[in-house]
Amino acid sequence: MNAELVKKALEKVVNANVLVNLISRRVRQLNAGGGGLSRPLIANVENLGAADIALREIIEDRMGWDLPEVEVLVRPVKNRKKPQHAARKIVPADDEIVANTFPAA
C-alpha cells in the first residue's frame, strides 16, 4: 500500500479502524471477480494493487460509507426495597416536632 494514499484516505475517513475495514472489504470485492462490484471504479489502474485501487476510490469519492449513530448504553437500575424494620421519619409542617415512629410488630 502506498503511504501517501493512506494519508489522503485518512483525511476523508478520519478513523483508521473504519478505513481498514473499508479497504479490506473492497479488496475482497475486487479480488472476487466476475461481477460489477469486482471492477475498479477509477481509471488508470495499471501497476496498482487492489488495496491501492480501493484507497484511490475513497480519495476520489467513488466509494461511500455510512457510520451508524452512537447509542449510549445505560445499565438498568435494580429496584431496591427498603428494609421493613427501618424507622420512618415524619416530615414536620412548619413548627411541628420531628418524631421517629416504628411500625407495630
* Strands (E) located in the chain: 88-89, 100-101
Determine, yes or no, domain membership for 69: no
What are phi and psi for residue 101, nearest 5 degrees? Answer: -120, 145
Question: In this structure, is residue 67 part of a structural domain?
Answer: no
Inside any domain, residue 24: yes
Give the domain range for residue 23.
Answer: 3-59
pLDDT in tens, 3-12: 999 999 999 9
Q: Is residue 9 part of a domain?
A: yes
pLDDT for 66 beyond 70: yes
Give how many domains the chain has, as a whole number: 1
First to last CA, the chain: 79
Residues 6+ apart with CB under 8 A from 65: 13, 18, 22
17 belongs to a structural domain: yes
What per-residue confidence (pLDDT) applies to 12?
Answer: 93
Q: Does residue 86 sit within a domain? A: no
Determine the Cα–Cα distance for residues 100 and 72; give it in Å rounded to an integer: 43
Q: Is residue 85 part of a domain?
A: no
Q: Is residue 26 part of a domain?
A: yes
Of 50, 43, 4, nearest in space to 27 by CA: 50
Which of 3-7, 16-20, 73-77, 90-94 is predicted least confidently?
90-94
